[in-house]
A and B are shown apart, each in its own frame.
Chain A
């Protein structure tokens, strides 16, 4: 089945220790997104890739970086995790960005729950 896969599902890291979260997709979608979702809140977009073009949200901290080495994979790197970075991180994909008669609906992975100790 075509899907969005995130590994690991649970990640524990130490304060200040770099961590990488992984996302892969078999949908062959052009766009991949990373969201941060804190408890009982809506997801917050961090950045997205349209093919190889990287688009950072204005309020995404510099501590968060992303890489997309190919169509299928996208990584979220947190260079120096703080306690406030503990959250669920959601990866999503869409075939295209939204446009006229293109809804750009997004398909989400199961998420990685990050704990910072």
Chain B
């Protein structure tokens, strides 16, 4: 079975631009979460979607938005990019439900903002 896939692998943008990152979960998984990982730090939770509805949101500005599609894939959008948005963006899928099981992470999208 294919694992979690993310696209693109790398992305370079300039300040003020907008970016869309994509994630496909493991087949059968209904929950997708997004994390931002700055170099040298642990992942920071951004969003979680379950059954196409937002279940959780981390401490990120409204420039960050996401959605989940009927096939459970997900997009993360970031508007008005800042230099500080440069990071590895990780997507994780899980079966979901109230009792969290382990999350399976994709390889990430490395975003560089110049």
Whether chain B is bound by chain A comes out as no
